[in-house]
């Protein structure tokens, strides 16, 4: 299973094209919309989220609520397009009003203009904007439908915003998912959540922005997804690539990650036990991955998001049109988007895992996939 997206931030619509979806997968469009709404939420978002009300429209690849094995095209309209037709018209005369030349440090503006020869950074930033991640979330919801059918679930929560850190639960799978969904910072630790909101308020008042850390975890995975034999199959690498493909994600670790580096081996690895229910581990330092494969424990991916680059108290930059010093441009912007990024990362993780299921158990139709999965479970 793979996806591609198209669409600019203030263009007419976003498109996700998902290929490799097995035939016969029941896909509930309201579940896609629910994930789109989860991506839109979060304390610290900018004004754009009050304009948009993201809804998925399936253009192809489904009949009667099920996939038919052909490419799935999903579109999400940009409601804000109506306000930008004179700036974003694909074919018409453009008004110069929204030209961006004071390129923002931390964003794609400068490198994108140098790379493409653009003299108006809007040509770059319209696509580099994380508005595009709505399309990824729609594609990810399809992957989640496959995983759910195969008995696996992907979820997320936030552990840090700026310098406020939540108490991390010992086992992500024990997190109260309802509490996370109710929290506007996606944090299960209510006291930390309160301090996170205050930190976001203070950042907004100061013209600042904040980053943070979140965890994406997946339960119910069979062991052996991914592969040890070839670099491209190793699930750690595929997951790290997928999660760091999200704008502003600058670090990823699995399980205890960087902390493993300072421990002796006896405190770093998870002993192997066996009982009537099969193999199990008393600990999960590895975060559910060994040798590039799932090992049957909860998959735990932790990611760091840098602060939002657009600042209301702008950093110094250079104006591309004059090469004179300037204040970086200000677009309407989020102050903090860590909760939203966690939802996007759920989608990316789900897409990698769903692809791993189709590779291991067959991608033509769900009946074959589930049959092969049942036989595998029986064997192991
Ligand atoms: C969900 C989400 C929302 C974001 N919102 C904004 C925003 O409102 N303003 C902004 O400048 N950057 C925002 N970003 C971050 C930029 O898209 C990102 O920093 C930029 O594309 C440069 O890419 P890089 O940070 O990976 O180098 C957001 C990122 C995500 C994942």
pLDDT in tens, 127-168: 999 999 999 999 999 999 999 999 999 999 999 999 999 988
pLDDT at 96 over 80: no
Centroid of ligand 1 to alpha carbon of 373 (angstroms): 38
Atom of ligand 1 nearest to the CA of 306: 25
d(CA 216, CA 302): 6
pLDDT confidence tier of residue 170, bands split at 50, 70 and 90: confident
pLDDT confidence tier of residue 80, bands split at 50, 70 and 90: very high
Model pLDDT, residue 289: 98
pLDDT confidence tier of residue 317, bands split at 50, 70 and 90: very high
As separate numbers, helices (DSSP H) first and strands (DSSP E) second, the chain gives 11, 17
Closest by Cα among 21, 116, 30, 105 to 60: 21
Centroid of ligand 1 to alpha carbon of 39 (angstroms): 13
| Residue to probe by mutation, ligand 1, list 14, 54, 107, most atoms within 8 Å of CB | 107
Centroid of ligand 1 to alpha carbon of 108 (angstroms): 9
Atom of ligand 1 nearest to the CA of 108: 22
Atom of ligand 1 nearest to the CA of 343: 1
SS (H, E, C) 284-350: CCCCCEECCEECCCCEEEEEEECCCCCCCCCCEEEECCCCCEEECCCCCCCCCCHHHHHHHHHHHHH
pLDDT confidence tier of residue 348, bands split at 50, 70 and 90: very high
d(CA 291, CA 226): 9
pLDDT at 93 over 90: no
Centroid of ligand 1 to alpha carbon of 308 (angstroms): 6
Considering the entire predicted model, what is its pTM? 0.98
**Quick one: tokens of 331?**
């677009």
d(CA 251, CA 239): 12
Model pLDDT, residue 47: 86
Which residues surround ligand 1 with Cβ inside 6 Å? 46, 106-108, 128-130, 133, 246-248, 306, 308-310, 333-334, 337, 340-341, 344
If you search the block for the tokens 């997928």, which residue do you land on?
A: 242
Model pLDDT, residue 215: 98
Model pLDDT, residue 171: 87
Give percent above pLDDT 70 in the chain: 100
pLDDT at 76 over 80: yes
Centroid of ligand 1 to alpha carbon of 270 (angstroms): 36
* Residue of minimum CA distance from atom 28 in ligand 1: 130
pLDDT confidence tier of residue 112, bands split at 50, 70 and 90: very high
The angle subtended at Cα 189 by Cα 198 and Cα 138, nearest 5°, is 90
Centroid of ligand 1 to alpha carbon of 349 (angstroms): 19
Model pLDDT, residue 218: 98
Among 81-85, 183-187, 201-205, 216-220, whose mean pLDDT is lowest? Answer: 81-85
């Amino acid at each position: 299973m793979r996806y591609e997206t198209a669409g600019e931030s203030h263009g007419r619509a976003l498109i996700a094209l998902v290929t490799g979806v097995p035939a016969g997968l029941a896909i509930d469009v309201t579940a896609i919309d629910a994930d789109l709404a989860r991506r839109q939420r979060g304390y610290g978002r900018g004004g754009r989220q009050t304009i948009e009300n993201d809804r998925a429209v399936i253009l192809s690849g489904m009949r009667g609520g099920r996939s038919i094995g052909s490419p799935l095209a999903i579109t999400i309209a940009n409601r804000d397009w109506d306000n930008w037709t004179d700036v974003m018209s694909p074919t018409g005369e453009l008004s110069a009003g929204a030209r961006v030349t004071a390129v923002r440090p931390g964003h794609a503006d400068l490198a994108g203009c140098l790379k493409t020869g653009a003299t108006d950074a809007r040509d770059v930033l319209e696509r580099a904007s994380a508005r595009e991640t709505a399309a990824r979330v729609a594609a990810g919801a399809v992957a989640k439908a496959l995983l759910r059918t195969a008995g696996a679930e992907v979820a997320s929560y936030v552990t840090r915003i700026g310098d406020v850190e939540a108490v991390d639960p010992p086992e992500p799978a024990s997190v109260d998912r309802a509490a996370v969904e109710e929290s506007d910072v996606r944090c299960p630790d209510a006291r930390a959540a309160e301090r996170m909101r205050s930190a976001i308020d203070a950042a907004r008042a100061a013209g600042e922005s904040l980053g943070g850390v979140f965890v994406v975890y997946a339960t119910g995975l069979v062991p052996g997804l991914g592969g040890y034999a070839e670099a491209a199959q190793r699930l750690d690498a595929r997951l790290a690539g997928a999660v760091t493909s999200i704008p502003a994600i600058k670090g990823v670790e699995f399980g205890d990650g960087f902390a493993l580096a300072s421990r002796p081996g006896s405190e770093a690895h998870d002993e192997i036990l066996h009982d009537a229910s099969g193999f199990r581990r008393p600990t999960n330092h590895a975060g559910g991955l060994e040798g590039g494969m799932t090992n049957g424990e909860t998959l735990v991916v932790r990611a760091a998001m840098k602060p939002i680059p657009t600042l209301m108290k702008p950093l110094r930059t250079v104006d591309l049109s004059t090469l004179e010093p300037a204040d970086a441009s200000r677009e309407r912007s989020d102050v903090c988007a860590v909760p939203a990024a966690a939802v996007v990362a759920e989608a990316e993780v789900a897409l990698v895992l769903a692809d791993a299921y189709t590779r291991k158990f067959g991608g033509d139709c769900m009946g074959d996939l589930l049959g092969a999965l049942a036989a595998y479970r029986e064997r192991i």
